[in-house]
Each structure stands twice: as structure tokens, then as C-alpha cells.
Structure 1
């Protein structure tokens, strides 16, 4: 038969009073230590003895001693109570200052282009906080999986989350290597993708994502095919760099390879806009200081990140106009 190990309400009442009397062998000194009257100490211990079902103390007019039951109770209760006090102090410390383990779930692609600078500066500013980054393309339930916050593209964030913008909106760009585009005729229209090898992304729910475009004011989704299916952007981008085919990725992820001449954007007039990257976290009335410190840190640096990204977009737009 399953046993019930739930601690009943009030089971710990009187334990601190008993431990203090056992230490001092005096109701008066125990009362002074705890800041109550000797009468209150006596009542608390009588109630404890009633719940335990045995006398714990031997009281005379001259001294206070322990019964055998009291000795055994002291042996087990003292270390347990000290652990409870220590646990309370640790929890109180975490609730009063930024400290402890901060767990973040992020896509692997954003770590080198966005998160490394934020984490490095945060760790220097808050040395008592340990940061754990779990890089994964999966859309996890951050509360159920024990994460404090996450970083994701805005379109993948649930409506009940609080989101802090990290980047401006950006296009989803189709890119291919110069070698691949020499072997295949460069696509000029969306329908031209039928003749191309297209690298695809498998979503966390198991489905393969279509490619998204805009044609005038109309949103268009296209089912493509190709030699590689991946579940993260860096793998798909790497396949494109190696000439396996075309890939559709957020522009910031491809920017380094494009600048280095390893990839070339195509179908740019049809590129849809993605909402950008956000830090998100549950709405909590009692937020731990470590998370509050990280959010404030991100907000204090998000303006410079946004301005830098916006400057790159303006520079690219000006070059295209020329």
C-alpha cells in the first residue's frame, strides 16, 4: 500500500523551541534566544510532545533534561532543522540578489552572431550568476523544461510570453554558393525553384517547412525539394556554402558568408520579412533577481544592437540603389 509522506500542517511547530531548550537546558535562556516568553516556550513544547506522543523533556524546579525519546528526537531533528534553515537562507539569498543558475534555450545559429557578446558582458557584470545555454532548434516549453528564458524568432513565441526585441525585422533570404549558381541557371522567379536543389528545414513537430515569399502584396508558400534536410539553420547554411543547393535563412545568419563571397543572395524582390529575434520569458509576479538582471542587461544593450543592425540594413539598401 502506498504510504503518505506529506508533512502535515503544523508538524514543525515547536521544534525550534525544543532544540533551543535542549541546547541551553533552560526554558528561560531558550526564550531569551528566540525572543519570546518562557510561557510561550513551555506551551510550544507541550504541543510538540502531544503531537509526537511522548515526553521529550524532564522538567524539575532546578534543571531540564532529555528523556530517551527526547534524546532520539534531538539526534534526528537537529541536523534536519539545520538543513531547513540553511535551505531557507540559500533561497532567501537567491531571492535578494542576482545569483544561481540562469538557464536559456536558444537556437544554435544566434549564439555566435548575437548572444556571445551579451553573455560575455553579463557574466562580467554578474559573477555570482552561472549561465547555461542549451542550443537547440526545438521549440521547448521553457517553464516545463526548467528554463528561465529563451531566445527565438518572433513568429515562434507563444502569445502568453513577455518578449524583448533583440534585432529589427529582417528578410528571409535565399542564398546559394557561386559554384552552385555557375552550374545552375540563377533563379529569377519563384517558379524557377522547381529546377533547383533546395535545402529544407524540419520543424520540431516533424513537418518540413515550406519556403515563404511575397509576390506583390500576396504571401506565397512553396513546397521545394532537394538533397538535404536539417533541423537547424547552421547545418543548412553549411550545405549551401558547400554547393549542395539553395537555402532560405534569416538574412543575419547568412550575412557573414555573403560578405565573404561564399554565398550569393537570389530572389531578393520576393523575400518576406521576419519579425526579428526576441528574448522571451513567462509573466511572473515574483521574478528571480538573476532573470531580472539579465533582462535589464539585455534591454540596456538592445538599443546598440538594434542601431547596429539597422545601420547594416541601410547600408545594404543604399548599395542596392546604386
Structure 2
């Protein structure tokens, strides 16, 4: 049996991970038919079926799963070995394309980009703000930023230092006028600032206490699709807002807003940068991840 090429093995990992010739072909920069032909040639060369194909899906065989499990760490080690000598070539250069919701994009701009600009001036960080969860591979992104629990299991994650919590907030003037709700049910008697999700649906506020979970539909004078605007509306006394603590933190710190219903809020959730683990990590992305990891340690 002739030894398969590194390109063929990398292509197999992409197909077996995505379980789709189309998505793997997009990643590899080739036509799906060309990739399918390359996989058949690989199977013939190895003398074993690696992929079960149907009109709708591609699934590794038992032999394919075994090969995939061995190849993924081997390819990762190879990438790390090549990157270890990259510094001898000079400065890292290139573009890192990142998909993130607006609030997380703001975090990157404030906390990560100053260090990136100082250490890697030849790297461009291209951030696309998108409230909807997208397939970063098929859309051509190097990485994404989302709540940890929503990230696909086949991605490699780098958690941020600060987890994300949601808070209910209102201005002191509003609370002086209308009082402070003690339970989520009391929100029905309050002005609430609505949150329209990227899908177009209104977000139902989520609460939890002692194992009891509640989802509350709210009414109020304004509906917005941007958390920073929700914070501004709450500061102006338009009502109670349900927002990420990242958005409300400055106004909470200087007293323009106060928390309400704190005992009913969910525990903080981890937020992470994520990227595909089955392909080579570009040097520019690796430099960006190193800055994120250092920020997390400090």
C-alpha cells in the first residue's frame, strides 16, 4: 500500500469532521466532486472503506472513526511543530476574521485589540458583528465568540477571563416612582424594555431560584434589539431592562442603574473564542489566541 499524502489525510479529516463534502470542500478550497473523487482514491489506496455515503449525509465507518481519532492529534502536533519555527521568519502577518455578537465584539475591541496592535502590528483583526449563530467554517471565519454552551462540540475553545451574567436593572428614579419588584411575577405591573432577538421574536426573560425556572413575557414602552441601547433606555427611566452585565457594568458602577431581582438571576456563563480543531491554525489566529490567553491569566 502506497502512503497517502498529507493533503489527502487533511481532506479526510475535514470530510469526517463536517460529515459533508460541500462544507469540507468550502474549507479546502476545492469542488465537492473533486474532494469526493480524492476520498475514493484514498480508500482504494488504503484498501478499506473510510466513509459511508448517502444522498444526504456522509458518516465515517468504524475504520474511518479510528483513523480520524489518530489523525486529529497528529495533525495538530504537526501544525504546532511548524509554528514553532515561524518566529524565525519575522513578524506575524495576516488577517483574522471573527464572528461575534455586538457586545462580545465590543469586548474584543476594548480589551484584546490594544495588545494585538502593540505586539502584532501586521495582523488585521476583521470583526463581523452578527447576532445570529452562524457556521463559521462555511462563512469563511477563522473564529467565533459565543456562550460556551452554544459552541459546537467539535470546536476548540479558549474561554475568556470574565464569564457573562444577565441582570435586571432600572434607574433609581424609576424605582423611586414605581417601586422595586421582589419576584419575576411582579414584572407584569412594571414597564419593561423589550428585547427583540435576531430571529425577530421577543425574548422571554429567564429566571431561576432554588431549582424553580420561570420564563416571563413582558410589556413596556419600547422594544430594542441592542443591549447598549437597552441600558440607555433604562438609565433614562423608561423601565426595567434585562441585559448582559457587560453592557450594564459602567452604569451600575456609577449608580445610574441598580440591580433588581438579583436572587432570581441565572449563574454566570462562560464565554469563549472557538475555532475548528481539524485544520491548521493560521499564524495570525494563533497570535490572537495567545493574546486572549494572556489576558485571561492577568
- TM-score normalised according to structure 2 size: 0.65
Equivalent pair of 1:167/1:278 in contact (CA under 8 Å): no
1:138 aligns with 2:171: no
**Map 1:14-93 → 2, pairs under 5 A:** none
Equivalent pair of 1:197/1:225 in contact (CA under 8 Å): yes
Cα pair distance change 1:301/1:201, threshold 3 Å: same
Any idea what the Cα deviations from partners look like across 1:270-308, whole Å, max 9, x if unmatched? Answer: 11123132111122331111111111221122122xxxx
* Whole-Å separation in 2 of the counterparts to 1:268 and 1:117: 27
The alignment of Structure 1 onto Structure 2 pairs a total of residues equal to 212
Structure 1, unaligned stretches of length 5 or more? 1-5, 10-92, 305-322
1:153 aligns with 2:147: yes
Any idea what the Cα deviations from partners look like across 1:97-155, whole Å, max 9, x if unmatched? Answer: 73222112222223445542211101211122111222332323222222211222324
Equivalent pair of 2:206/2:214 in contact (CA under 8 Å): yes
Asked which structure has the greater CA Rg, the reply is 1
Structure 1 position 183, deviation (Å): 2.0
* Whole-Å separation in 2 of the counterparts to 1:114 and 1:148: 15
Cα pair distance change 1:272/1:232, threshold 3 Å: same
* Whole-Å separation in 2 of the counterparts to 1:154 and 1:198: 28
Cα pair distance change 1:155/1:203, threshold 3 Å: farther
* Whole-Å separation in 2 of the counterparts to 1:230 and 1:167: 28
Aligned to 2:281: 287
Any idea what the Cα deviations from partners look like across 1:7-53, whole Å, max 9, x if unmatched? Answer: xx9xxxxxxxxxxxxxxxxxxxxxxxxxxxxxxxxxxxxxxxxxxxx
Given the alignment, which residue of 185, 190, 197 partners 2:184? 190
Cα pair distance change 1:281/1:138, threshold 3 Å: same
Structure 1 position 165, deviation (Å): 0.8
* Whole-Å separation in 2 of the counterparts to 1:245 and 1:301: 35
- TM-score normalised according to structure 1 size: 0.60
Given the alignment, which residue of 246, 270, 273 partners 1:252? 246
- SS of 2:165's equivalent in the other structure is strand
Given the alignment, which residue of 98, 104, 119 partners 1:104? 98
CA RMSD of aligned residues (A): 2.3
* Whole-Å separation in 2 of the counterparts to 1:201 and 1:260: 24
- SS of 1:159's equivalent in the other structure is coil
Given the alignment, which residue of 241, 262, 271 partners 1:268? 262
- SS of 1:204's equivalent in the other structure is coil
Cα pair distance change 1:154/1:200, threshold 3 Å: farther
Structure 2, unaligned stretches of length 5 or more? 1-30, 35-85
Given the alignment, which residue of 111, 126, 129 partners 2:123? 129
Given the alignment, which residue of 200, 223, 230 partners 2:224? 230
Ranked by relative contact order (alpha carbons within 8 Å, sequence separation 6 or more), the top structure is 2
Structure 1 position 258, deviation (Å): 0.7
